[in-house]
Chains A and B, each alone.
Chain A
Amino acid sequence: MSATAWIELIASGLITGGIYALVALGLNLQYGLMRILNIAHGEFLMLGAYLTWAATTLLGLSPLVMLPLSFGVMFGVGVVVHRLCFKRLTETSLTLDIFEARGLMVSFGLMFLVQNLVSMVWGGDLRGYDYLTDPVHFGSMQFAANKLLVFALALLFSAGLIALLKFTLLGKGVRALMQSPTGAQLVGIDTKRLHPLMFGIGLGLSALAGCLLSMTYTIAPAMGEPYTVTALIVITLGGFGSMGGALAGGLLLGVVEALGMHFTSPSLKMLLSYGVFIAVLLLRPKGLFTRKTRDA
């Protein structure tokens, strides 16, 4: 295989990986901070994609305009969902394990709700629209313009989130909460405000990913589930609570998938991801990018 073919392959892997990273960052924020494993995360991605599609085809808005819009809408939805569904759980669960299990079940119900709502409103057929489909040339290689844009934006937003967490006071508060929930509250960091805020940001990120996805791929109500699973795989690869790890893990997984699919078969994509997942869990359960410790 020629060098350009290799680069094209890896590049396409990176592009998918960028989306994975974005979704994983959102999930990481929710799980790392609040221990809510939002199995419906992919559904909100799908919702973001559908909102963008609807705005583009029905209202004629540019998808780029929908980026902040879908983020904003989903952020609001996230805050409401957290208030309605998850806040009560923190008060009534006896242990962390019970809270996690119940959080999982609530998000399971949300998954049903959102997926079927979309299916009912917009029907189950595949939808899509064209945006920036002209190819861009780099020497002898070519990529679709929209795919390049998606990659650039995904990286931009991921980096933005990481910067937010690292350099702002808010971000420092979030990281403090992740490391020590009680200690952080003792120094005055307000969980009551931060939790819904971060939950909303998490959902907003996934909507952003959906919006980006809708630019390049067709969308369907069931498209969200694979991304939830992939996001979890990425979080495991990168280590829980580690934002940089989620970014690196997402890109890595995208490349691994692209290479694997090329050399074996596209339908084995899931098998490949799962294989990587299980391998990482068995060998380095704390993640690829953390230092090794031992626990029975």
Chain B
Amino acid sequence: MSDVAGPLLEARHVTVRFGGLIAVDDISASFGAGELVGIIGPNGAGKTTFFNALSGVMVPTAGRLLARGRDLTGARPHRYARHGIARTFQTPRVFAEMTLAENVRFGLRFAGRRRRAETWGPAWLAAWIDRVGAPWPWRRRPGVSWLLRNELSILNVIGLAHLADMPAAAVTPSQQRLLEIGMALATRPRILLLDEVAAGLTESELQDMAQLIRRVRDELDITVVWIEHAVTTLLRHVERVLVLHQGRMIADGTPAEVVRNAEVIEAYLGDEMVEEGVA
């Protein structure tokens, strides 16, 4: 099925108000296939609220949300998930009583069912052939990566395969954050919204996370939109940056353009950024 109906995910004049507070103010943005986009902005800029609107968790007060041309405004979150929009949460929300493998499998069994990695044959047959290690003669379906075929493979991608049978409550928070990404990947999305996945990571962990995100975009063919506070790292890896400030979008361009944008510098980056020569 070709995706020529429109950009993967599009927000048109989206506004989200809470009583008198305007958290997201008339933001329009669209995300296409193969993009790696960052979203930055000071605290309270409305980034997470924007994500909530994009994933259907909150209904915008005004504006429309379209996924590949289909109007999803007001639909409930599971419809967004089934259209290939996956997200992670700022504090990792995993199913504490289930094992890591079961957590990942959850996504596979629900939203992930819509887009199987194999072209035909029942899932159990594919799993059996996989375990036996026989070569896979069937043609794999384009558009959904082979790496997303089952939970073990996904756990391998995020690097937690050795903990597959541990209950999710027993692993460390940074591992839980990786698990969150795995669960989101299990829904076989077209676009992945990552909400501050690098918070609290050490320098080397940060590099690993950035590598993983690049891999998600390059090998798994999933568009990534990434909110982050670790601005330096983000700007080094993304190709496009949106800058939010007090609910409005004040810049949308390449990292080089954004760091030179006067409004952005005034609101957020400060002169040091330009001096550091980021971009």
Q: Is B59 an interface residue when CB atoms closer than 8 A count as contact?
A: yes
Number of residues from A at the complex interface, CB < 8 A? 7
Measured between beta carbons, the chain B residues less than 8 angstroms from A296 are 56-59, 74, 76-77
B77 lies within 8 A of A293 (CB): no
Q: Is A1 an interface residue when CB atoms closer than 8 A count as contact?
A: no
- Candidates B19, B57, B96; contact of A94 at CB < 8 Å: B96
Measured between beta carbons, the chain A residues less than 8 angstroms from B169 are 94
Measured between beta carbons, the chain A residues less than 8 angstroms from B76 are 296
Measured between beta carbons, the chain B residues less than 8 angstroms from A295 are 58-59
In angstroms, Cα B19 to Cα A177, docked, is 21
- In the assembled complex, the CB of B77 is this many whole angstroms from the nearest CB of chain A, namely 6
In residues 267-296 of chain A, which contact B (Cβ within 8 Å)?
291, 293-296
Measured between beta carbons, the chain B residues less than 8 angstroms from A294 are 58-61
- In the assembled complex, the CB of A242 is this many whole angstroms from the nearest CB of chain B, namely 14
In angstroms, Cα B95 to Cα A94, docked, is 11
In angstroms, Cα B129 to Cα A116, docked, is 62
In angstroms, Cα B76 to Cα A293, docked, is 16
In angstroms, Cα B19 to Cα A291, docked, is 6
Measured between beta carbons, the chain A residues less than 8 angstroms from B60 are 294
Question: For the complex, would chain B's binding face be called helix, strand, loop or mixed by DSSP majority?
Answer: loop
Measured between beta carbons, the chain A residues less than 8 angstroms from B18 are 293
- In the assembled complex, the CB of B83 is this many whole angstroms from the nearest CB of chain A, namely 15
Q: Is B13 an interface residue when CB atoms closer than 8 A count as contact?
A: no
Q: Is B115 an interface residue when CB atoms closer than 8 A count as contact?
A: no
In residues 1-42 of chain B, which contact A (Cβ within 8 Å)?
17-20
- In the assembled complex, the CB of A241 is this many whole angstroms from the nearest CB of chain B, namely 15
With A94-B96, A94-B169 given, is the CB distance from A293 to B19 under 8 Å? yes
Measured between beta carbons, the chain A residues less than 8 angstroms from B20 are 291
- In the assembled complex, the CB of A239 is this many whole angstroms from the nearest CB of chain B, namely 12
| Chain A residue with the shortest CB-CB distance to B93 | A95
Measured between beta carbons, the chain A residues less than 8 angstroms from B19 are 291, 293
In angstroms, Cα B76 to Cα A295, docked, is 10
- In the assembled complex, the CB of B96 is this many whole angstroms from the nearest CB of chain A, namely 6
In residues 197-244 of chain A, which contact B (Cβ within 8 Å)?
none
Interface string of B173-199 (1 = CB under 8 A from A): 000000000000000000000000000
- In the assembled complex, the CB of B43 is this many whole angstroms from the nearest CB of chain A, namely 15
Measured between beta carbons, the chain A residues less than 8 angstroms from B56 are 296
Measured between beta carbons, the chain B residues less than 8 angstroms from A95 are 96
Measured between beta carbons, the chain A residues less than 8 angstroms from B77 are 296
- In the assembled complex, the CB of B65 is this many whole angstroms from the nearest CB of chain A, namely 11
In residues 89-121 of chain A, which contact B (Cβ within 8 Å)?
94-95
Measured between beta carbons, the chain A residues less than 8 angstroms from B17 are 293
- In the assembled complex, the CB of B104 is this many whole angstroms from the nearest CB of chain A, namely 20
Interface string of A130-144 (1 = CB under 8 A from B): 000000000000000
In angstroms, Cα B96 to Cα A294, docked, is 29
Of A94, A294, A295, the most chain B CB neighbours within 10 A belong to A294
In residues 44-72 of chain B, which contact A (Cβ within 8 Å)?
56-61
| Chain B residue with the shortest CB-CB distance to A98 | B96
| Chain A residue with the shortest CB-CB distance to B19 | A291
In angstroms, Cα B61 to Cα A94, docked, is 33
Interface string of A65-102 (1 = CB under 8 A from B): 00000000000000000000000000000110000000
Measured between beta carbons, the chain A residues less than 8 angstroms from B59 are 294-296
In angstroms, Cα B143 to Cα A133, docked, is 81
- In the assembled complex, the CB of B187 is this many whole angstroms from the nearest CB of chain A, namely 18
Of A94, A291, A293, A295, the most chain B CB neighbours within 10 A belong to A293
In angstroms, Cα B130 to Cα A195, docked, is 56
Measured between beta carbons, the chain A residues less than 8 angstroms from B58 are 294-296
Measured between beta carbons, the chain B residues less than 8 angstroms from A293 are 17-19
In angstroms, Cα B19 to Cα A94, docked, is 31
| Chain A residue with the shortest CB-CB distance to B21 | A293
In angstroms, Cα B19 to Cα A83, docked, is 38
| Chain B residue with the shortest CB-CB distance to A286 | B19
In angstroms, Cα B52 to Cα A295, docked, is 10
| Chain B residue with the shortest CB-CB distance to A292 | B19
In angstroms, Cα B61 to Cα A295, docked, is 10
Of B20, B58, B77, the most chain A CB neighbours within 10 A belong to B58
Interface string of B106-121 (1 = CB under 8 A from A): 0000000000000000
> Can you list 21 A-B pairs, Cβ within 8 angstroms, ordered by A?
A94-B96, A94-B169, A95-B96, A291-B19, A291-B20, A293-B17, A293-B18, A293-B19, A294-B58, A294-B59, A294-B60, A294-B61, A295-B58, A295-B59, A296-B56, A296-B57, A296-B58, A296-B59, A296-B74, A296-B76, A296-B77
Query: Can you list the 8 inter-chain pairs with the closest CB atoms, starting with the nearest?
Result: A291-B19, A294-B59, A296-B59, A293-B18, A94-B96, A296-B57, A296-B76, A296-B58
Given contacts A294-B58, A296-B59, 6 further A-B contacts (CB under 8 A): A95-B96, A291-B20, A294-B59, A296-B56, A296-B57, A296-B74
